[in-house]
Amino acid sequence: MTMMVFVLAIAAWGQDDGLDELMSAMIAAKIHQDSIDTSNLVVVYDYECKTRDAEGKTVTDRMKVCLQVGQHCTRSYPYRKFLEDTSDYDYMTGENYLTWKAESYCFMPEVWTNYPDGKVTVRDVILPNHYETCGQRKPIDWTLRDDTATINGYLCHTATCELHGRKWTVRYTDDIPTSAGPWKIGGLPGLILDAESSDGIHHFKLDGLQRIATPIYYEHNAITIKVSEHKLNDNRNKIYGNKQYPKHPMYYIPNRSNLSADETYGQFGDEFYCIVNGVLEPTDAHVYQPLELE
């Protein structure tokens, strides 16, 4: 068990402050975590989302997603957070700040599969709140196809499905006998190495994998609002799908004095930032492309 205790603090910093303050705020985002399993495989995916910026220009948002595969459960979440959990992650670089900022465009939740037993637990953020859903694990209705491909030296088979309103085509290898995959995609007789939505908007591509033992954490004392999966999806799509969002990401909180949250302010280079309840507040945004349409 790993114990990390902290108190979120509100701070107002001057224009000369930089990543020293960012590091302090990131450390403040640590909370008590328990190891619920140990991975025997760590997979990293490059996730891409094709969308448009506030001016209508085509852009592709990118981040890395980590999948920890344990004996009893899996965890899919931003690779940055995996580095925080398992290494001396150096907050004191501009590259790491930009990585964190890039994630704010991508809307990638944390997903624990088969935790608790037979269920799927999801954590997501709609600022200023953290939300959690926990529901029965539902099998995906896969259609297996005959075509194959080779990815990073692994012979892969093809399968298709519909998941939360989107159609997906995936490549999986039975050379790695696990039913795991990125995000909520899984249930095949082999590790998923590639998954793309039929419209080409969302794409998970294998970056690399290691057979290493790392703790799979669950944050037991995280302050979350428990909601149903349906309600979380509806709220997320309603707020982020609003046409105001790309130009004014916090449009739905017009009066910040009514914002009940711990806020941390600072500056990196010429850029000011605000961390709300441990999450970097977006200063700009792109057109929301939901992973889940329903």
pLDDT at res. 90:
66
Mean pLDDT of the chain: 87
Domain count, the chain: 1
pLDDT at res. 258:
74
Closest CA to 36 of 184, 187, 222, 219: 219
217 within domain boundaries: yes
Cα R_g (the chain), whole angstroms: 19
Residue 267 CA neighbour count, 13 Å, CB half: 9
CATH number at residue 199: 2.50.20
269 within domain boundaries: no
**What whole-number distance in Å separates Cα of residue 272 and Cα of residue 45?**
30
Residue bearing the bigger pLDDT, 8 or 78 = 78
68 within domain boundaries: yes
Torsion angle, alpha carbons of 120, 121, 123, 126, to 10: 70
Residue 23 confidence class, pLDDT cut points 50, 70, 90 = very low
pLDDT at res. 32:
57
11 within domain boundaries: no
Quick: pLDDT tens for 229-238.
999 999 999 9
> 145 is in which domain, residue-wise?
35-221
Report yes or no: 13 and 21 within 8 Å, Cβ to Cβ. yes
Residue bearing the bigger pLDDT, 97 or 285 = 285
69 within domain boundaries: yes
Q: Which residues are within 8 A (CB) of 66 and not within 5 positions of it... i.e. 6 or more apart?
A: 42, 43, 44, 45, 75, 76, 77, 78, 79, 81, 82
Quick: pLDDT tens for 31-76.
457 899 999 999 999 999 999 999 999 999 999 999 999 999 999 9
Quick: pLDDT tens for 236-290.
999 999 999 999 999 999 888 777 788 888 887 788 888 898 888 998 999 999 9
Report yes or no: 195 and 184 within 8 Å, Cβ to Cβ. no
246 within domain boundaries: no
pLDDT at res. 266:
82
Q: Which pairs from 244-250 meet CB under 8 Å and 24+ separation?
A: 245/285, 245/287, 245/288, 246/52, 246/53, 246/54, 246/284, 246/285, 246/286, 246/287, 247/54, 247/284, 247/285, 249/281, 249/282, 249/283, 249/284, 249/285, 250/127, 250/281, 250/282
73 within domain boundaries: yes
288 within domain boundaries: no
